[in-house]
Amino acid sequence: MIIKKIGKLMSTIMAVIMLVTVTVPAFAAEEAETVCKHDQGNYYKYTKAPTCTKSGTRDLFCWVCDELLEKDEWVPATGHGFLRAEIIKASTATEKGILRETCSECGEKIRDIKLENNPEECYHEDRGYYNDIYPTCTEDGREPDSICRQCGKILKTGNVQKAFEHKYDQYSLIKKIDPTCTKEGKKVFRCYKCFATKEETIPVTGHKHKELRDKKDATCKEEGYTGNIYCKDCNEIVSLGTVIAKTSVHSWDAGVVTKQPTITEEGIKTYTCSVCSETKIEKIAKLLDDKKEDIKIPDNKKDTTTIVIPSKPSQKIVEKVGTNFVVAGNTYKITKSSAEVSFVQAKKNVKSIAIPDIIKSNGVTYKVTSIETKAIKNNKKLKNITIGKNVRTVRKNAVFKCPALKTVNIKSTLLTKKTASKKGFKSVNKKLVIKVPKKVKKLYTKIFKGLKIK
């Protein structure tokens, strides 16, 4: 665009400024796609530049979006511009010279001035200003020369006027696109002196708000994942996670005995993981056989009520109610985990049976608290039984068909009418004597009514 005249330009600028000032731009929050209301002022391009004497036309464009708002608007002739001075004929002592004034724009002659004085004798009282050039944003101008209109002498040559440089300020910001995490934004300015535009980039913001998603803990069944880091603003994955190996920690259930132990063979207990269904087995110790076990019962205490079996920590007997195990040839059943057992099966063909106060098995101590039905039966050799002091219950027919049995030594004082009776001893020797602790003799006489109590 060629700027014809600074006066014109200035008036246009003022118009634009006024328009722009009325409505302060609010581009910042707007998206690039927002529909422009064309209310931020306008600028123009000549379609036919006016001259000093002829009118022209120009197109008006929206200041912000460049849309054509008005086509071929009429523009009046500019009128002649600055004066150029040209010495057609120099003044001398004898002859008068001529200074011609022309239009700086169209070159048309405005007038000729007769130079009356000889420059050597002139006082230069009538000075004219000529040949000035207005600077633009990009080109230097110059100040006017001072020339004497009486003698034609150039009294002062105009200095160079530096180009303006474009003027960009808050009003010339016509577009702002905010940067995103990964895309630069930009600002577009329009110079309101020459309407040239410039762009400034706004750096990317980077992913500012991050969060961890898709995290999964590993189990024994499935691999886990450390999770991906996402940008909350743009949902992009900023960094990928890594797979976490399956754990080796299973969630075992209480286990099921899948093979009962016998005297000759170990049993098997199978545990199942509730998460991955994997199984593991555990051996259950063989049932103890008295012929092989080395049980030491001191000779002078043959009828001791305590028999200690050395524990074997490597063989785990699961202490579950209902589990049977054999100690010194006698079989016991757990009735209370880690606490109590009942005497369920006596060793065969022995002359004497001692039901101990306590037994130990695999480091666990149990009280022997009851004698089950037919725990001692069909023994023709059996002559005496000792009942330990923790026995509370002697079931009906606990001792059954033991015709030689003559002595039962009860150490327990815990028996009651409800938990014991004469019926505990069935088909025994008629001369059977029950020995009882002194302090319960009266009670036990009632409990075992019909038997000899001593």
Binding site for Zn ion (CB under 5 A): 36, 38, 52, 62, 64-65, 67, 80, 103, 105-106, 108, 122, 124, 137, 148, 150-151, 166, 181, 191, 193-194, 196, 207, 220, 231, 233-234, 250, 273, 275-276, 278
- Distance from the Cα of residue 426 to its chain's centroid: 76
What are 66-75's contacts with CB under 8 Å, separation 24+?
Answer: 67/36, 67/38, 69/38, 69/42, 71/47, 72/47, 72/48, 73/44, 75/46, 75/50
CB of 97 to Zn ion, least distance (A): 11
User: In terms of Cα–Cα distance, which of 25, 24, 21, 43 is closest to 34?
Assistant: 25
CB 108, min distance to Zn ion, A? 5
**How does DSSP assign 72-85, residue by residue?**
EEEE------PEEE
Q: Could you give the CA distance from residue 436 to residue 243 in angstroms, rounded to a whole number?
A: 73
**Of 99 and 103, which CB lies nearer to Zn ion in the complex structure?**
103
User: Given the complex with Zn ion, which of 8 and 38 has the nearer CB atom?
Assistant: 38
3-state DSSP assignment of residue 371: strand
Compute the CA torsion angle 291, 295, 296, 301 (nearest 10 deg): -90
**In terms of CB distance, is 250 or 367 closer to Zn ion?**
250
Q: Which residue number, 175 or 411, has a Cβ lying nearer to Zn ion?
A: 175
Q: Which is nearer to Zn ion, 191 or 354 (CB)?
A: 191
Closer of 52 and 188 to Zn ion (Cβ): 52
Candidates 306, 293, 310; CA nearest to 363 is: 310
Query: Quick check: 382 and 406 in contact, CB under 8 A?
Result: no
Tokens at residue 31, please? 């998206």
When the beta carbons of 4 and 395 are compared against Zn ion, the nearer one is: 4
Q: Of 312, 216, 220, 323, give the one whose Cα is nearest residue 269.
A: 323
Tokens of 381: 């050799």
The residue (of 22 and 106) whose beta carbon lies closer to Zn ion is 106
CB of 423 to Zn ion, least distance (A): 53
Which residues make beta-bridge pairs with 18?
A: none
Chain centre to alpha carbon of residue 141: 64
Min dist. Cβ of residue 236 to Zn ion (A): 5
Kind of pairing, strands 330-336 and 407-410? unpaired
State in angstroms the smallest separation of the CB of 133 from Zn ion. Answer: 15
Minimum distance from CB of 118 to Zn ion (Å)?
A: 9
What is the closest distance, in whole angstroms, from the C-beta atom of residue 75 to Zn ion in the complex? 16
- Output the six-digit token pair for 416: 């009651």
Strand pairing of 376-377 and 352-355? unpaired
Minimum separation from the CB atom of position 60 to Zn ion (A) = 11
CB nearer to Zn ion: give 105 or 266: 105
CB 234 within 8 A of CB 251: no
Smallest gap from Cβ 48 to Zn ion, in A, equals: 16
Minimum CB separation of residue 22 from Zn ion in Å reads 15
**Of 164 and 225, CB closest to Zn ion:** 164
Phi, psi of 215 (to 5 degrees): -75, 140
- Name the residue with tokens 């949902």: 235
